[in-house]
Amino acid sequence: MSSQWWRSVLLLLVLAGLPVGPLAAAGAVVVLTVDGAIAPASADYVVRGLARAVDEGAQLVVLNIDTPGGLDTSMREIIKAILASPLPVASYVAPSGARAASAGTYILYASHIAAMAPGTNIGAATPVQIGGMPGAPPQKPEQPTTPEADKTKPAAESDDALTKKQINDAAAYIRGLAQLRGRNVEWAEQAVRESVSLSAKEALKLKVIDYVADDLSDLLKQLDGKKLNAAGQTVQLHTAGAALISHEPDWRTRLLAVITNPSVALILMMLGIYGLFFEFMNPGTAVGGVVGGICLILALYALQLLPVNYAGVALILLGMALMAAEAFMPSFGVIGFGGIVAFVVGAVILIDTEVPGLGIPLGLIVSVALVSALLMVTILGMALKARRRRLVSGDAGLVGSLVEVAALQEGNPLGGWVKLQGENWQVLSQAPLRPGQRVRVLARNGLLLDVTAADEMPPQGD
């Protein structure tokens, strides 16, 4: 009876979705795919994916990685989530031809399990924001100096102090991760300072990674029965034949990935400014203001997540202000083209990083500048045409107009009424008028218009 009672309680717990001892260890394996540069969208996707895997009672999370690197802030956000995760995390560089460069190397070192597929590589972990592109030549060791040599040392060399400090910080960070996971500390530091890389077999030989697996199924077979420490608790894996749950990026992650693309952020900012600009030119239409406001807010949100150079932002805004000023007070292109130059320079220096995939293509900058120049030239052309066009208001709008006589004045064949510019006017002619006759306005005398027959020829000289 007692065993039957316990079976009933266990069944109720399972139906309620609660983790129950051995059943939780035999849960599914959640797969998250990190493909491309590590950016705010990637960090949000991984952090929420790990939390969701815990709620689903999974036993393991696999990060399928293929990245050239990414932003330091996003990388550290992912690593913090991995270190705090109550579930073991296995970072797997796959498929063949993939890589875990720069930020990917740090994530691999932080994971409970590091694995690679044949034909992949890892390394080149020098922070590119401060240390140049991956693959840059290693720094030369410092040479002993003398007081005389110090006096002649160029002032530019003292600027390297900050760079060295940041590289030392990155080296200490990855060294701490290597010690935490029991991986090769010396090579980790070398990957940061000298941007070296390894193939999968070499990484396994040097104990940089734990496994080389042909595919995910092979990796799960190798992990079956392994015990790991996750958040202070020992977890034994039962991955052979475990169910796989693949969480693809949802709409929120995809939207964040789109708007935090520097090129898209620049276009959104331009659309936002142009929308507000047209709303100010034509108040009341609302479309330009609404669309421009939304685009501008999205652009500002994206820029605050990216490593922007605020001098670049200031130059872009200055350029747009100058182009708007050209439209409102034409200077025949001087102010407008100065604004285009300011915009191009600002867009070039806008993103303060050399991380692959996070730059703004020069072609896009030139295209946007050309569109702005074309718009400015169009506005200038419209302004010049408007200056040459004759006035259409006041007396100038009345004189020369052709109208039909609507009615005659009673008892006065030389006078009548016409409808001009939406108003009824009294007219006076030197010749008798008839209803329906077309006349031309010659002048205005108060509320009276002097007219003549439209087909009347001017008098000829003798």
Q: What is the per-residue DSSP string for 252-263? A: HHHHHHHHTSHH
For 347-376, the pLDDT digits (tens) are 888 887 666 667 788 888 888 888 877 877
Is the pLDDT reported for residue 104 higher than 50? yes
pLDDT, average across residues 213-236: 92
Contact between 295 and 269 under an 8 Å Cβ cutoff? The reply is yes
- Cα torsion angle, 100, 102, 107, 109, sign: positive
Helix (H) or strand (E) holding 20: none
For 244-300, the pLDDT digits (tens) are 999 998 888 888 888 888 889 889 988 888 888 778 777 777 788 888 889 989 988
Phi, psi of 101 (to 5 degrees): -90, 155
Q: Rg of the chain's alpha carbons, rounded to an integer?
A: 37
CB-based burial label for 38 (10 Å; 0-12, 13-18, 19+): buried
Average pLDDT of every residue of the chain: 80
Domains of the chain, residue spans: 20-141+164-249, 260-388, 394-453
Of the candidate ranges 115-119, 138-142, 264-268, 420-424, the one whose mean pLDDT is the lowest:
138-142
What pLDDT score was predicted for residue 78?
96
Omega before 95 within 30 of 0, i.e. cis = yes
What pLDDT score was predicted for residue 392?
55
pLDDT, average across residues 222-238: 91
* Superfamily holding 20-141+164-249: 2-enoyl-CoA Hydratase; Chain A, domain 1 (3.90.226.10)
**Residue 219 contacts by C-beta under 8 Å, 6 or more apart in sequence?**
62, 90, 92, 115, 211, 213
Is the pLDDT reported for residue 129 higher than 90? no
Question: How would residue 23 be classed by pLDDT, with cut points 50, 70 and 90?
Answer: very low
The pairing of beta strand 29-35 with beta strand 60-66: parallel
Architecture category of domain 394-453 in CATH: Beta Barrel (2.40)
Is the pLDDT reported for residue 406 higher than 70? yes
Helix (H) or strand (E) holding 413: strand 412-420
Q: What is the DSSP letter of 356?
A: T
Question: Rounded CA gap, 291 and 267, in Å?
Answer: 13
Question: Rounded CA gap, 21 and 6, in Å?
Answer: 14
Rounded to a whole number, what is the distance in angstroms from the first to the last CA of the chain?
A: 137
Question: Rounded CA gap, 233 and 87, in Å?
Answer: 9
Is the pLDDT reported for residue 338 higher than 60? yes
Tokens 């030392």 belong to residue:
168
pLDDT, average across residues 115-141: 65
Question: Rounded CA gap, 334 and 323, in Å?
Answer: 10
Of the candidate ranges 3-17, 162-176, 241-255, 287-301, the one whose mean pLDDT is the lowest:
3-17
pTM of the model: 0.67
**Residue 441 contacts by C-beta under 8 Å, 6 or more apart in sequence?**
398, 399, 400, 401, 403, 420, 427, 449, 450, 451
For 376-390, the pLDDT digits (tens) are 777 667 666 766 655
pLDDT, average across residues 429-445: 84
Count of alpha carbons within 13 angstroms of residue 296, beta-carbon side = 14
Considering only CA atoms, which of 364, 361, 360, 320 is closest in space to residue 340? Answer: 320
- Between the alpha carbon of residue 423 and those of residues 258, 412, 419, the distances in Å are 56, 21, 5
Domains 20-141+164-249 and 394-453 share a fold: no
Looking at mean pLDDT, say which of 213-227, 250-264, 336-350 comes out highest: 213-227
Count of alpha carbons within 13 angstroms of residue 208, beta-carbon side = 29
For 35-63, the pLDDT digits (tens) are 988 989 999 999 999 999 999 999 999 99
What pLDDT score was predicted for residue 54?
92
**Residue 231 contacts by C-beta under 8 Å, 6 or more apart in sequence?**
84, 85, 86
Question: b/e string for 88-98 if b means 16 or more Cβ within 10 A?
Answer: bbbbbbbeeeb
DSSP 3-state assignment of 196? coil
DSSP 3-state assignment of 197? strand
Considering only CA atoms, which of 104, 19, 4, 22 is closest in space to residue 53? Answer: 19
If one compares 411 and 357, the residue with the highest pLDDT of the two is 411
If one compares 235 and 15, the residue with the highest pLDDT of the two is 235
Question: Rounded CA gap, 328 and 14, in Å?
Answer: 71
Question: How would residue 305 be classed by pLDDT, with cut points 50, 70 and 90?
Answer: confident
Is the pLDDT reported for residue 103 higher than 80? yes
Is the pLDDT reported for residue 2 higher than 50? no
Is the pLDDT reported for residue 453 higher than 80? yes
Considering only CA atoms, which of 87, 92, 93 is closest in space to residue 62? Answer: 92
**Residue 148 contacts by C-beta under 8 Å, 6 or more apart in sequence?**
none
366: left (phi over 0), alpha (psi -120 to 50) or beta: alpha
DSSP 3-state assignment of 31? strand
